[in-house]
Amino acid sequence: MDARCSRRAWRRRVLDAALAISLVAVHPVVVLAQPGESCRKLTSLRIPDTTIESAAVIEDGNFNPPGATNSIRRLPPFCRVTGITRPAIGFEVWMPLGKWTGRFEVVGNGGMAGTISYGSMAAALRRGNATASTNTGHITQPTGSGFDASWSLNRPELVEDFGHRALHLTTVNGKQIAREFYRKSVNHSYYVGCSKGGGQGLMEAQRYPGDFDGIVAGDPAYNWTRLYAGAHLYYAMSTLKDPESYIQPAKVKLLADAVNQACDAKDGFTDGVLDDPLACHFDPAVLACKQGQDPGTCFTPKQVKAVKDIWAGSHDDRGRQIFPGLVPGGEGGSGGWQSWVTGSAPFHATHWKAADSFFRFMVMGDPNYDPMTFDYDRDKGALDRLAPALDAIDANLRPFERRGAKLILYHGWSDPDISPLNTIHYYKAMEQATGPGTSNFARLFLVPGMQHCGGGPGTDSFDAVSAIERWVEKGVAPVQIVASHSTHGVVDRTRPLCPYPQMAVFSGKGNPNDAANFVCRVQQVTEGN
């Protein structure tokens, strides 16, 4: 797979995962008279520090994203607006011509962003929503595969835009464009994103609580600086700094199979999914090579240590955790350790690619810097300088709550990029900040067997968007969200996703592939491996 195909595959996975399956409900709609003329007139709209570059009607149901080889099909006719906000925030707003639900849905980015999230915009448009996306103020270089940070070198204003300003201004400007086009204000505004996009959602809830009525934030990269130091770089150091620590793809499968054999049946049946990874206390030392054993069928001491380090997470010199470790169960499959995200780059190399560009250009400001020499305790100050722009760690969402806004968090238990424990920690911090009423406006759903924003052996397709709409517009809080797993396009398993700290527990009767045979219940588990 060439670099361009890998990049497209990665973007499709991260940017579209939260919108993979959207149930089209019946909603009141707005029908606009003479939409074509209304669209073309938007080029004359005046917005501070912003230029509307184009406004044109797309009627044939197909759209060819700039630079892409494949078109997006099955789109309703829409008005496409492109613009730029100073210094370099590119954005697009798409508005359905025929029937509009009255909703405005902004979609997030992945990785280091740098592109418009066309696939996610298309999903929102098909729902009948007006939608917007931004490149967050920069263009990703072709060699970056979603992790390019070269644009940030000595450009603190672009870092600020990437961290929070671009999405906020796109939201504000997009609402104004929609109001001008439809001659009425939006009824409800929503945000949907995963990974970087999940972190963007939490940044919005914290810094700009008035922007959205509802937010769906998946696998959120909210504490960005610690994620890159304590996960991306840490995993790369654990497996690449010493060549003897490198874990070959065949051994990743060996580890995955051993974990499943030890822990899969703990939930009462065997299906290739660890419903509760925190109950799995597998010791990778059992895979250590014995005297005379073929080294291709076992783990060397340094490889065993690398696995233990990744599961334990990173710590500073005083033993304080920098970033929580991954949990057992996410190693196998095309989206696991063996081949994470791009479908071509191994777990080790992908994390290294992400860390390498970030530390050279954004953290240290030196294209020749070697991130393998980074020392967290010695060099933490360089990260701290970036934290105000990039990190969304304030768990006190009372301003967001007081508006009546709602938040759905979700995270795949088998995520090999961002530990699900990281999101659990944030939700617990929210409970400490806002008290026992947290679940009245915010709920977390953990997805067994789902990898980063989708994929994996678990039920990774679910409609969090309709759930947030019902919660905001009808006051119906999600007590569970039914998810499905498909093989070759055919659904072969359904499972309820339960609000944390509940989890889906098999009743012991009926087919374990049917969501109807599970109940949501709090299970007492001990965090750790």
Q: Where are the alpha helices (DSSP H) in 85-218?
A: 118-126, 156-160, 166-182, 196-207
Q: How buried is residue 298: exposed, middle or buried, by Cβ count under 10 Å (0-12/13-18/19+)?
A: middle
**pLDDT tens across 414-426, in order?**
999 999 999 999 9
One domain, residues 161 and 309: no
Rounded to whole angstroms, the Cα distance separating 95 from 81 reads 8
Q: Contact 150/141 with Cβ under 8 angstroms?
A: yes
Q: Is there a contact between 482 and 497 (Cβ–Cβ < 8 Å)?
A: yes
Residues 483 and 460 in one domain: yes
Looking at residue 202, its pLDDT comes to 98
Q: Is 396 inside any structural domain? A: no
For residue 143, count other CB atoms closer than 10 A to its CB: 12
Is 393 within the bounds of a domain?
Answer: no
Q: Catalytic residue at 379?
A: no
Domain contains 400? no
Residue 458 shares a structural domain with residue 335: no
Q: Does 300 map to a domain?
A: yes
Residue-level pLDDT at 30:
57
Measured in residues, the chain has a length of: 529
Residue pair 284/307 in contact by the 8 Å Cβ criterion: yes
- At which residue do the structure tokens 């990437």 appear? 162
pLDDT (average), residues 62-84: 93
| Residue 157 sits in the same domain as residue 260 | no
Token couple for 320 = 């304080």
pTM over 0.85: yes
Domain that holds residue 72: 1-186
The catalytic position among 452, 460, 463, 485 is: 452
| Pair (251, 324) in one structural domain | yes
Would the pLDDT of 1 be above 70? no
Q: Are residues 247 and 265 in the same domain?
A: yes
Residue 401: inside a domain: no
Nearest to 422 by CA among 146, 231, 281: 231
- Greater confidence (32 vs 467) lies with 467
Catalytically annotated residue among 415, 417, 460, 463: 415
DSSP letter for 42, please: G
The pLDDT of residue 347 is: 62
Return the pLDDT at 250.
87
* Whether 106 and 62 share a structural domain: yes
What's the burial of 195, exposed, middle or buried (CB within 10 Å: 0-12/13-18/19+)? buried
Catalytic residue flag (residue 486): no
Decide: 181 and 79 in contact? Cβ < 8 Å.
Answer: yes
d(CA 409, CA 443): 6
pLDDT confidence of residue 305 = 97
Instruction: Note whether 130 and 191 are same-domain residues.
Output: no
Residue 395 included in any domain: no
Question: For residues 135, 141, 146 and 151, what is the CA-based torsion angle, rounded to 10 degrees?
Answer: -70
138 is catalytic: no
Count of structural domains within the chain? 3
Domain match, 369 and 490 both: no
Three-state DSSP class for residue 376: helix
Residues 277 and 383 in one domain: yes
428 and 368 within one domain: no
| Position 394 in a domain | no
Instruction: Give Cα separations from 471 to 104, 132, 188, 213 (angstroms).
Output: 16, 22, 12, 10
| 230-284 pLDDT tens trace | 999 999 999 999 999 999 888 999 999 999 999 999 988 899 999 999 999 999 9
289 and 357 together in one domain: yes
